[in-house]
Chains A and B, each alone.
Chain A
Amino acid sequence: QLHLQESGPGLVKPSETLSLTCTVSGGSISSTSHFWGWIRQPPGKGLEWIASMYYSGSTYHNPSLKSRVTISVDTSKKQFSLKLTSVTAADTAVYYCGSQLAYYDTLTNSVGPQQVDYWGQGTLVIVSS
């Protein structure tokens, strides 16, 4: 059973870069079975999917954030990371890392992320000066 744990600063200044890391245990981050992704939730609001990445480097982004988001995987450390640039107060949220089950579509000969089956506990990031 996978276990995911987020880490990173809880306070980021406006216009700076938010950087978070998720450490994976209980399974291989190089596995073909999962994408590794980020989801956020502003206080008192709903969930927003940010981006997901496959071990091969294939990445899916939310277009609303794509220009500011970088997601990467470090297989040697069993970690994946999120960088969100030029943050504003609107980026204040609980950030969750998660694993999305990979689904291979035989019709299109492609693999894509599906349900988030494992979640980290979440980390609150506040954007404030």
Chain B
Amino acid sequence: DIQMTQSPSSLSASVGDRVTITCRSSQSISSNLNWYQQKPGKAPKLLIYAASSLQSGVPSRFSGSGSATDFTLTINSLQPEDFATYYCQQSYTPPFTFGPGTNVDIK
């Protein structure tokens, strides 16, 4: 199985901050990397697919980059509704593993 890691596991930030979350895969996954946002008690929501493509309806302050084994999710100008847990997921080969998540909370 491809192992996914994320850093940091949690972070505290303020509204208006720029936040960067890193995801690494244990082997190259090309650009087959997706990012999801999950709020407590809710289903995950797709933000970014194919490493850098913004899902329809997702605010442009979210962006993704990277390829092979190293990927980044950036949130520009953090908004109150962005406080949540963020997961990366590889869709290169099954099982389609998720990272352990990064919790973004209010400083």
Residues of A within 8 A of B (CB): 46-49, 52, 60-64, 96, 100-101, 113-117, 119-122
Contacts and interface: CB of A to CB of B under 8 A. Distances in A.
Contact of A47 (B46, B89, B94): B89
B95 A62 contact: yes
Contact of B43 (A60, A61, A115, A120): A120
Contacts, number: 63
Given A96-B44, A100-B91, A116-B36, 7 more contacts: A46-B100, A49-B95, A52-B94, A114-B50, A114-B91, A115-B91, A121-B43
Interface of B: 1, 32, 34, 36, 42-46, 49-50, 55, 87, 89, 91, 94-101
A117 B100 CA distance: 19
A119 B55 CA distance: 14
Given A46-B98, A46-B100, A47-B98, A119 B87 contact: no
Nearest to B100: A46
A48 to B, nearest CB: 7
